[in-house]
Chains A and B, each alone.
Chain A
Amino acid sequence: MSSRLSDRPRDRAEPIDPAPLLGEWTNYDVASRNIASLTVEQRGGEVILRVCGVPNVDWGETTAFPFALTVAGGEAVAFKAAYDFGFLRVAILAYLNKRLLVVDAYSTFHDDSGRSSYFVRDHFYLR
């Protein structure tokens, strides 16, 4: 079954290799008010994300789900992850672009603060 042509398999799929995502990533923008750094590691078959918000707020660990470029699998080019802080939920959606990690954060508030849901993007280099 498929929802679009790119869903159709061309070859036997390989497992997704998360290696290109792994490591300690630092924000290029030292003035960012979003994410200062993040760590992606493989542990027991899972990919684990740890985010540090500005200024120096440890978000803790969450599971990251890697994605390949096609249904044939192979090297990971992107991942998604989610944080639920109760008052705030953040979807972290990231992809690699020439060894640059582009990280989009989609944030929605679930308190009575009246703050808008917002989108923010930052770019990270591998330390």
Chain B
Amino acid sequence: MTYNFGMRYVRAEDRPPNGDTPPGGHVDPAPMLGVWFATDKQSAGVVKLELAERDGAFVVRAFGSGTPDPLDWGEVPAVAYAKSVVSGEGMAVSAAYDFGFLESLLAAYTKGGILVLDTFNTFKDGSGRSAYFSREFFHR
């Protein structure tokens, strides 16, 4: 399944180009930190995302649409991703929420000042609701 040429890999992208030395494995989430607001003010999905570092840990706090106020989902650990194996600059993030009745996987990337969020939502409560996908856009 995997090859071994000094480093194991499953595709060319896993190998540092030109013999570059990997930066050590830490991806700095700093470029993504801040409060992100949904571009669609009528969104029925996630309306706000807070990306922060707390005691050295990268965390996400999401807010779902609700009336009269947005629903605070609380803070969960997040993983920062760079654009390559030799970059240390964060440009994407993933995080998972488990509400008991519902699991939501959040996966987002930043590009040109916009954050694009995909959510993969699976119900566990026997309500008969279908698993569903959403795609939403955010600005700071």
Contact = CB atoms under 8 A, between A and B. Distances in A.
Interface residues of A, number: 59
B31 interface: no
A35 B130 contact: no
For chain B, the bracket of interface size reads 35 or more
Interface in B14-41: 14, 16, 21-27
A3 B65 CA distance: 8
Given A55-B12, A91-B107, A118 B82 contact: yes
B8 A118 contact: no
A122 to B, nearest CB: 10
Contact of A116 (B2, B8, B85, B131): B85
Interface string A106-126: 111101011111111100000
Contacts of B53: none
A109 B82 CA distance: 12
A39 B120 CA distance: 21
Contact of B10 (A53, A67, A106): A53
Interface string A15-37: 11000000000000000011100
Contact of A69 (B79, B104, B132): B132
A73 B130 CA distance: 5
A115 B14 contact: yes
Contacts of B23: 114, 116
A23 to B, nearest CB: 19
Nearest to B21: A114
A65 B1 contact: no
B49 interface: no
Given A4-B44, A34-B11, A109-B25, A60 B133 contact: no
A71 B122 contact: no
Interface of B: 1-3, 7-14, 16, 21-27, 44-47, 64-67, 71, 73, 79-88, 91-92, 94, 97, 99, 101-102, 104-105, 107, 109, 118, 120-123, 125, 127-135
Given A1-B125, A9-B127, 10 more contacts: A2-B71, A3-B102, A7-B102, A16-B130, A57-B10, A68-B130, A74-B130, A106-B92, A107-B81, A108-B81
Interface of A: 1-7, 9, 12-16, 33-35, 53-55, 57-60, 65-74, 77-78, 80, 83, 85, 87-88, 90-91, 93, 95, 104, 106-109, 111, 113-121
Which 4 A-B pairs have CB atoms at the shortest separation, nearest pair first?
Answer: A4-B64, A53-B11, A73-B130, A119-B92
